[in-house]
Structures are given as structure tokens and as C-alpha cells.
Amino acid sequence: MSKFDEKLATYEAGLKKLDAKADMDLLRKVTKGLGPSIYNNDSNKVACTQQSELDRVVANFCVKKLGASAAEGEAAVKAVCAAYTERAKHRAVFYYMVVKELGKESVYA
């Protein structure tokens, strides 16, 4: 099993706790899009308590990657922070939930 597949298995298990009917193909695409950041123990997590990190997610992911407005991105990130209650929030799962919240699955089609 490759390192990517090991990480993906971890993310799939975490996502199944939140959503039993989750789209694992979309999770795979989102994870692949994150590149090498999934292998670094610090960068593969999202801290909802750090406003600067949330601003970065909105600017770089929601606006640049998904094409949402900043206001839509902020609302989606806040909603995901409220729904994803795990202490250590995996970035791939967090981004997957943001994509679903914004309805931007077509970006990864």
C-alpha cells in the first residue's frame, strides 16, 4: 500500500464517522489536489481556532480553487467547523466538506 493510499484510508475512516453516504471518489480527488501537504503532520490538519488559517482556506481554496465568493467561503468554512467536531481536523476531510457545503463538486469532475 502506498503512502497516499494509507493517508486516504485514514481520511475515509474519519469521513465515514461524519457521513456514512460520503462520496469517496470526490474525497480521493480532493486529497490528490492537496499534494504533498497531506504528508506533513502539521499541514495536514486544519485548526478552526486560528482565524488566520481559516482566512487562508477561504482565500486560497474557496475563492481561488472553487470560484466561490469570499462571503460564501467564510459561511461554508464556519458551517464545516461547526459540523466537524473532531479535535484534529484532517485537511482533506475538511476541504471535502467545504466542497459539499458550497455545492462545487463539479470543480473535481
pLDDT tens figures, 8-30: 999 999 999 998 899 999 999 99
pTM, entire model: 0.95
What homologous superfamily is domain 3-108 in, according to CATH?
A: Jann4075-like (1.10.238.120)
Residue type, 82: A
* φ, ψ for residue 43, nearest 5 deg: -80, -10
Going from N- to C-terminal start, the domains of the chain cover: 3-108
CA 89 and chain centroid, separation: 9
Residues 47, 89: contact at Cβ < 8 Å?
A: yes
In the chain, at which residue ranges do the beta strands (DSSP E only) sit? 45-46, 89-90
pLDDT tens figures, 55-108: 999 999 999 999 999 999 999 999 999 999 988 899 999 999 999 999 999 999
Question: CA 106 to CA 23: how far, in whole Å?
Answer: 13
Cell 481520511, residue? 11
